[in-house]
Amino acid sequence: MTHANDLAGQPLNVAPALAKKLDKLGLRRRFDLVLHLPLRYEDETHLYPITAAPYGQPVLVEGRVIAHEVQFRPRKQLLVRIEDASGVLLLRFIHFYPSQLKQFADGALVRAMGEIRRGFHGDEMVHPKTREVVDGTPLAESLTPVYPTVNGVTQPMLRKLIRSELQSLPLPETLPPSVIAHLQLQSFADAVRLLHSPPPEYSASQLSEPALPAWQRLKFDELMAQQLSMRLAYRARRQGRAPVVRGSGRLREALFASLPFRLTAAQHKVLGEIDADLAQAHPMHRLLQGDVGSGKTVVAALAALTAIEAGFQVALMAPTEILAEQHYRKLSGWLAPLGLTVSWLSGSLRKKQKELALEQMASGTAHLVVGTHALFQDGVDFARLGLAIVDEQHRFGVGQRLALKQKGEEPHQLMMSATPIPRTLAMSFYADLDVSVIDELPPGRTPIVTKLINSSRREEVVDFVHKTCSEGQQVYWVCPLIEESETLQLQTAVETHRQLAAQLGQWHVGLLHGRMKADEKAAVMAAFGSNQLQILVATTVIEVGVDVPNASLMVIEHAERMGLAQLHQLRGRVGRGSARSVCMLLFENPLSDVAKARLKVIYENVDGFEIARQDLLIRGPGEFLGARQSGVPMLRFANLEDDIELLEAARELAPEILARWPEAADAHLERWLSGREQFLKA
């Protein structure tokens, strides 16, 4: 087994220039070629008479060249006429090399593969694949695979490289025989051989059928590799050491006494789960999920108090300065009266303040430190960090797990997210985490009414803003996202602010955007929080976490440009108080199909889990996870929507394989993951 893997792991034996191109396809080790599977297949097993070939599908024809010419108008192109016993066909090449002219000498016998269509001058093929043959050259016996490729790597080159590895590499099983038998899986070697060089009896549609046993085998193996690596990550963590954190309950009681509300049953439940983890001697990695507004912050605060009671420090990290600042205010408000020190650390702090915060962290005088990424940068030391809390974890990307090791011990981690993770994703990419869910909203919330409004009716919207303010409520007005240009986005926000301030003269209108300095942003947020500003014009910087319960109207311009998660987050900024809340989604025609689908979903649903599920359907898991940014490789063959049964089987069997056949697990991971990024970056 080890020997087989050694060969498989060898780098490709090709010239450096080609190696560089193959690298772009993710082809580095010899075994990578085995897993480079066809996108589709072409049928070169059958020759059609020219006039009997069907239109609109790839066909192979053969004929003798009767004429060729290079035309210069309307653009340079090569025209070749071939003829068989049934009739004549025009081959048209817009791009061609001088060498191709030679191939088409009059009288040459040529095979052309392509789609025939009716052209102005009769039947033609545009850019067929051609080769010169001699009379009676045998046809392919089976379908020809077509591989994903890049410029400079032709299909014949790939076929040759792959064929040679299939012949020379041993392809042993990595999974234990009992697992293969139990799931009635095709053997790995048979599966890859079948897909690379299908036997003659297979049709192209059979081969692209996801239920084909060969595809099932590859998908299962891939999902199994993912499950094994996730379980190993989970195990490694459970073998790590963390401080045992048990609180006295004294500070918690004091906070409970000061809160104007009682916890919901769901908040109590998740707090119990967190407490149980904290009391263990290995690090907690728990994901706390709860829809927008479900009250995660207070749960974080209560968890922090337990750690503080036990003599530890707590760090709370948020993805944006605005959110971090808001948490700092809220948590100071709760904790300072209990005699605790809450510090604040962000990238934009002045040197003096920063030094003070760092000193408080290092000396241990700070009980809780709130901040942005700056919290976990080099040169930041805690005296005794016991718990790290990450808010809006999904904003940091799926692969991000904080590396917080210090002095042989790792603090506990609580990750919070309002972007619910559909079950399949939770079972795959988040499988190394324990998950708690707050599945109920605090009582007394009135549901948000969502309206879709054509932007031509903007005046009516402005009237409604006025009415809302007259009733003592506040309004968010979110400016369009302009991805191409931050400057343009800024201009739009400034212009919208100017217009609304002019139209709504009796109200105070504030402006918030990403280019403002941190203290300016904080000042605007504070003014909005205390109702000195009734209307807040903002870019999407307010997307996450901002909590102003008196705001009851959210207007979003160009909602069609935004993603579902973003719309759900923005809408969740209202509906936090007892007033009836409205979210107005302004859109501009024409709408793309995707935009239409998204607006329909957000209009029809309030439940974040359902929205996330639909989002996954519309976008696919790659974008859903934000994995492009985080660099986590996606599944190549398996698909979380369709292959749920395979995923469940892999999840169920992974622990058993690890326990009973650890060498098999190693070999399997080596085959699927070595040379590639891990599924998870810890």
Query: Six-digit token pair at 597?
Result: 């689908």
425: partner contacted, choices Mg ion, ligand ADP, none (Cβ within 5-8 A by kind): none
626 binds Mg ion (CB under 5 A): no
Cα–Cα dist 552/574, whole Å = 5
Beta strands in 582-631 (DSSP E): 582-587
Residue 399 or 545: which CB sits closer to Mg ion?
545
With CB under 6 A, what is the number of residues at the site for ligand ADP? 18
Tell me, what amino acid is at 65?
V
Stretch that binds Mg ion, among 167-175, 502-510, 541-549, 661-669 (CB under 5 A): 541-549
Smallest gap, in angstroms, from Cβ of residue 545 to Mg ion? 4
Strands 385-390 and 144-146: unpaired
Q: Confirm or reject binding of residue 247 to Mg ion (CB under 5 A).
A: no
Binds ligand ADP (CB under 6 A): choice among 264, 313, 436, 552? 264
CA-based end-to-end distance of the chain:
28
CA distances from 434 to 123, 294, 431 (A): 63, 19, 8
293 binds ligand ADP (CB under 6 A): yes
- Which option in Mg ion, ligand ADP, none does residue 174 bind, with CB closer than 5 to 8 A by kind? none
Query: Does position 294 bind ligand ADP by CB under 6 A?
Result: yes
- Side-by-side strand order, sheet with 385-390: 342-345, 368-371, 313-317, 385-390, 412-417, 285-290, 434-438
Q: Work out the burial of residue 71: count CB atoms within 10 Å of its CB; fewer than 13 is exposed, 13-18 middle, 19 or more buried.
A: exposed
Q: How far apart are CA 209 and CA 220, in angstroms?
A: 15
Q: Which of 347, 386, 12, 376 is nearest to 168 (CA)?
A: 12
Judged by CB under 6 A, does residue 290 bind ligand ADP? yes
At 145, list the tokens. Answer: 């695979």
Q: Which residue is nearest to Mg ion (CB)?
A: 545
Q: What, of Mg ion, ligand ADP, none, does residue 33 touch, CB below 5 to 8 Å by kind?
A: none
Nearer to Mg ion (CB atom), residue 420 or residue 621: 420
Residue 296 binds ligand ADP (CB under 6 A): yes
Contact partner at residue 571 from Mg ion, ligand ADP, none, CB < 5 to 8 Å by partner kind: none
Helical packing angle, 608-619 and 593-604, nearest 10°: 170
Q: How far is the CB of 290 from Mg ion (least distance, A)?
A: 8
> Which residue, 441 or 465, has its beta carbon nearer to ligand ADP?
441
Strand pairing category for 535-538 and 509-512: parallel
Considering only the stretches 289-297, 307-315, 420-428, 469-477, report the one whose residues sit in contact with ligand ADP under the rule CB under 6 A: 289-297
| Of 8, 143, 223, 263, the one binding ligand ADP by CB under 6 A | 263
| Closer Cβ to ligand ADP, 290 or 480, answer by number | 290
576 sits near ligand ADP (criterion: CB under 6 A): yes
Closest approach of ligand ADP to the CB of residue 56, in Å: 53
Least separation in angstroms between residue 287's CB and ligand ADP is 13
Tokens 């728990």 locate to 286
DSSP letter, residue 442: P
CA-derived radius of gyration, the chain: 31
Nearer to Mg ion, 546 or 555 (CB): 546
Locate 448 and state its tokens. 């948000």
Q: For ligand ADP, what does the binding mask look like between residues 522 and 551, x meaning CB under 6 A?
A: -----------------------x-x-x--
Provide, rounded to whole angstroms, the least separation between the CB of residue 549 and ligand ADP. Answer: 5
Residue type, 175: L
Give how far Cα 673 sits from Cα of 28, 169, 665, 677, Å: 12, 18, 12, 7
Nearer residue to ligand ADP within complex by CB, 432 or 615: 615
Taking CB under 5 A as the rule, does residue 290 contact Mg ion?
no
Candidates 112-120, 291-299, 406-414, 646-654: pick the segment binding ligand ADP (CB under 6 A).
291-299
Can you say whether residue 592 is alpha, beta or left, with left for phi > 0 and alpha for psi between -120 and 50 degrees? beta
Chain residues 576-615 in contact with Mg ion, contact rule CB under 5 A: none
Minimum CB separation from ligand ADP for residue 341, in Å? 22
Residue 337's nearest CA partner among 258, 263, 262, 260 is 258
What is the nearest approach in angstroms of ligand ADP to the Cβ of residue 443?
7
Q: Which amino acid is at 98?
A: P
292 binds ligand ADP (CB under 6 A): yes
Min separation Cβ 313 and ligand ADP, Å:
22
Choosing among ligand ADP, Mg ion, none, which partner's interface includes residue 633 (Cβ < 5 to 8 Å by kind)?
none
- Stretch touching Mg ion by CB under 5 A, among 9-17, 137-145, 545-553, 573-581: 545-553
State CA 235 to chain mean position distance.
25
Residue 608 neighbours by CB distance under 10 Å:
24
List beta partners, residue 437.
289
The residue type found at 251 is: L
Cβ distance to ligand ADP smaller for residue 175 or 300: 300
Amino acid at 434: D
Per-residue string for binding with ligand ADP, 436-475, x by CB under 6 A?
------x---------------------------------
| CB-count burial class (<10 Å; 0-12, 13-18, 19+) for 680 | buried
- CB of 512 vs Mg ion, minimal distance in Å: 18
To the nearest 10°, the Cα dihedral for 568, 570, 572, 576? -170
Q: Where is 129: in which H helix or E strand?
A: strand 129-132
State the nearest-atom distance from the C-beta of 439 to ligand ADP, in Å.
Answer: 12
Token pair, residue 523, equals 């000042």
Q: Is 525:512 a contact under the CB 8 Å cutoff?
A: yes
User: Contact 584/461 with Cβ under 8 angstroms?
Assistant: yes
360 vs 569 by CB, closer to Mg ion: 569
| Residue from the set 121, 156, 210, 261 that interacts with ligand ADP by CB under 6 A | 261
Helix, strand, or coil (residue 220) = helix
As measured in angstroms, the least distance from the Cβ of 375 to ligand ADP is 19
Q: Which does 263 bind (CB under 5 to 8 A by kind): ligand ADP, Mg ion, none?
A: ligand ADP
609 near ligand ADP, rule: CB under 6 A: no
Contact between 545 and Mg ion by CB under 5 A: the answer reads yes
> Which of Mg ion, ligand ADP, none is residue 261 near (CB under 5 to 8 Å by kind)?
ligand ADP
Shortest gap between Cβ of 630 and ligand ADP (angstroms)?
A: 22
- Partner interacting with residue 428 (select from ligand ADP, Mg ion, none; CB below 5-8 Å by kind): none
**C-beta closer to Mg ion: residue 293 or 621:** 293
Residue with token string 């792991």: 9
Distances (CA, A) of 54 to 47, 51, 146, 204: 12, 8, 21, 16
Alpha-carbon gap, residue 20 to 31, rounded angstroms: 17
The nearer residue to ligand ADP, 293 or 422, going by C-beta atoms, is: 293
Least distance from ligand ADP to the Cβ atom of residue 264, Å: 5
Residues 6 or more apart in contact with residue 482 via CB below 8 angstroms: 488, 489, 492
298 binds ligand ADP (CB under 6 A): yes
Non-local (6+) Cβ contacts of 265 within 8 A are: 440
CB of 262 to ligand ADP, least distance (A): 6
Contact footprint for Mg ion (CB under 5 A): 545
Contact footprint for ligand ADP (CB under 6 A): 261, 263-264, 267, 290, 292-298, 418, 442, 545, 547, 549, 576
